Amino acid sequence: MLNISHNQLNKKIDLADYKSGKNIMNVQYYKYFNRFLLAAAIILFIVMFLPWTQNITGQGIVTTLKPNQRPQHIQSQIPGRIEEWFVQEGDEVKKGDTILRISEVKSDYFDDRLMERTNDQIQAKSSSVTAYGGKVDALNRQISALRNEQKLKLEQTKNKLIQSHLKVKSDSIDLEASKTNLKIAETQFNRIQTLQEEGLKAVKDVEEKRLKLQATQAKFISQENKYLASQNEVINARLELSRTNAAFTDKISKTQSDMFTAKSSGFDTQAQVTKLENTYSNYKKRNSLLYVTAPQNGFINKVLTGGIGVTIKEGAELVGIMPSKYDLAVETFVRPIDLPLLHIDEKVRVQFDGWPAIVFSGWPNVSYGTYGARVVAIERFISDNGKYRVLLAPDEDDHTWPEAIRVGSGARTIALLEDVPIWFELWRQINSFPPNYYQPEGNKTASKKDK
């Protein structure tokens, strides 16, 4: 009601004197309620200054810390036909245990004695290599014998050439002696003829000297022919020396050619032996692949290709196996805007599906049913869902994670950031601001040292 008059009625009339006024003015619970509101306001004011831990929440799943501990599918390395199963779903297997047996479906491997026959081929080819080696040794010995014979033959021919040279010298000396005798005989004949013409010698003496001169001339001609024959023998000795050397060189070259041919054939056979050994090893390895074994200790989760007589292709998935020993971890996803706030070894709280929990995200110390974790890896490239993947490992300083957790179950993560007053967090939430950017203490110290 508006006060349009200067006469104040409440100063002249006391409403408490009236019955209705007494029922309204004198009620005590209004005073208690006012006190309660005042106390609540004071408590709320104090609470506004309590510390609040900023956090980043996310949804994730339970996985394993190491890649070799995660569930996997066992594949067939070769095509084949399923013949026999040795396990069923839920069985525990050890490393190397046989899971199933398959048979060949390619005609190249149908022979039951394939490895035995391949081994016989290897033995035969190896014997050929040995034979070629023996042939090479024999040819080497033959080359050595030919070279020794060539050496002796050349020495013999050289000696014959030397003898021919000596004979030429001897014949040349005899030829000179015959020339001298011829001159003497001619001189004596001319002297006797002169004396006979003067009447001092008889005709008989002249005839004797003529006969002697003719004999000396015949002997000179014979000695000259002998000298020419000796020179011809020198030429023949030289030709024989060259012919002998050429003949033995030809024989040695031919034997060396046969030796190199034998070596080439031996190397080719050795290559065939190596190829057969490689084929034998491949056959042996392929036979071992007919039995599919467990790569590690674990449990058979699910049979992906069942039945008997089913034909499978190379790389076909047969069964799923879960390792028996593994280190649990949680993979969660954060928004790109929150990624700079996460660091390696950052503290994180995890709530697992199926485990009751009372969570106060800003007061992790009073939360119930959450477990400690730490950041061990942060993805460098964004995932298909538009977020970055973060891998969490159990915090050794916190409670042990439940043993009944299975890989693949859901989890809710709370990454703990900087402590701020509650009023600041409310102000941030109302304005839709991101959490405060900060660096861990270790990084701050390192950056100061770098500076």
* CA distances in angstroms from 59 to 64, 322, 329, 330, 331, listed in the order given: 16, 23, 13, 10, 9
Give tens-digit pLDDT for 156-208: 888 888 888 888 888 888 878 888 887 888 888 788 778 777 776 777 777 77
Domain presence at residue 141: yes
Q: How confident is the model at residue 86 (pLDDT cuts 50, 70, 90)?
A: very high
Distance CA 58, CA 349 (A): 11
Q: How confident is the model at residue 272 (pLDDT cuts 50, 70, 90)?
A: very high
Closest CA to 105 of 290, 305, 283: 290
Helix, strand, coil percentages for the chain (3-state, nearest 5): 55, 20, 25
230 and 140 fall within a common domain: yes
CATH of the domain at 224: 1.10.287.620
**Is 304 found in the same domain as 224?**
no
Query: 290: which DSSP letter?
Result: T
Q: With bands split at pLDDT 50, 70 and 90, how would you rate the model's confidence at 292?
A: very high
What percent of the chain is predicted at pLDDT more than 90? Answer: 22
The string of DSSP codes covering 166-234 is: HHHHHHHHHHHHHHHHHHHHHHHHHHHHHHHHTTSS-HHHHHHHHHHHHHHHHHHHHHHHHHHHHHHHH
CB 94 within 8 A of CB 245: no
Dist CA 41 CA 375 (whole Å): 40
Contact indicator for 244, 161 with CB cutoff of 8 Å: no
- Kindly provide the b/e burial profile for residues 125-145, where b requires at least 16 CB atoms within 10 angstroms of the residue's own CB: bbebbeebeebbeebeebbee
Give the end of a domain, one of 323, 339, 367: 323
* Same-domain status, 252 and 309: no
Per-residue pLDDT at 390 exceeds 80: yes
C-alpha 107/C-alpha 115 separation (Å) is: 15
* The two structure tokens encoding residue 276: 């057969």
Asked if residue 273 and residue 133 are part of one domain, the reply reads yes
Q: Could you give the residue ranges of the DSSP H alpha helices within 289-304?
A: none
On whether both 277 and 315 belong to a single domain, the answer is no
**Alpha carbons within 13 A on the beta-carbon side of 273:** 15
Last residue of a domain, one of 300, 323, 346: 323
Residue 160 and residue 34 share a domain: no
Q: How many CA atoms lie within 13 A of 239 on its CB side?
A: 6
Amino acid occupying residue 28? Q
104 located within any domain? no
Total structural domains within the chain: 4
**Residues paired with residue 75 on neighbouring β-strands, in sequence order:** 317
One domain, residues 308 and 256: no
Question: For position 61, which CATH number holds?
Answer: 2.40.30.170
Computed from CA positions of residues 36, 37, 40, 41, in that sequence, does the dihedral angle turn out positive or negative? negative
- Do 204 and 136 lie in one domain? The reply is yes
CB distance 438 to 417 below 8 Å: yes
The pLDDT tens digits of the residues spanning 327-375 come to 899 999 988 888 887 888 888 888 888 776 555 455 555 455 688 899 9
Per DSSP, the three-state class of 52 is strand
Concatenating the DSSP letter of every residue in 334-390 gives: E-GGGGGG--TT-EEEEEETTS--B--TT-GGG-BS-EEEEEEEE-SS--TTSSEEE
Mean pLDDT is lowest, of 255-264, 377-386, 426-435, for 426-435
Three-class SS state of 281: helix
Each residue's pLDDT tens digit, 121-143: 999 989 998 998 898 999 899 98
99 three-class SS: strand
Q: Residue 1 — very low, low, confident or very high, per pLDDT cuts 50/70/90?
A: very low
Q: Per the domain annotation, does 236 fall within a domain? A: yes
Which residue, 229, 222, 228, is CA-closest to 182?
A: 222
If one compares 297 and 3, the residue with the highest pLDDT of the two is 297
Decide: 96 and 370 in contact? Cβ < 8 Å: no
Domain range for residue 302? 73-94+292-323
390 and 338, same structural domain?
Answer: yes
Q: Is residue 212 part of a domain?
A: yes
Whether 280 is covered by a domain: the verdict is yes
Find the largest Cα–Cα distance for the chain.
227
| pLDDT over threshold 90, residue 416 | no
Q: Report phi then psi at 275, rounded to 5.
A: -65, -40
pLDDT of residue 353: 83
> At residue 437, does pLDDT exceed 60?
no
Query: Based on the domain organization, do 131 and 275 belong to the same domain?
Result: yes
Which CATH number does the domain housing residue 88 bear?
Answer: 2.40.50.100
| HSE, side-chain direction, 13 A CA sphere, residue 29 | 1
Give domain status of residue 85, yes or no.
Answer: yes
User: Residue 450 — very low, low, confident or very high, per pLDDT cuts 50/70/90?
Assistant: very low
**Could you tell me if 284 and 385 lie in one domain?**
no
- Burial per residue of 386-408, b for 16 or more beta-carbon CB atoms within 10 angstroms, e otherwise: ebbbbbbbbbeeeeebeeebebe
- The pLDDT value given to residue 445: 38
Q: Is residue 153 part of a domain?
A: yes
pLDDT band at 451 (very low <50, low <70, confident <90, very high): very low
> Does 307 share its domain with 338?
no
pLDDT more than 70, % of the chain: 85
Q: Is residue 107 part of a domain?
A: no
Q: What integer is the mean pLDDT of 240-247?
A: 87
* Angle of CA points 107, 109, 111, to nearest 5°: 95
Residue with tokens 């701020």: 420
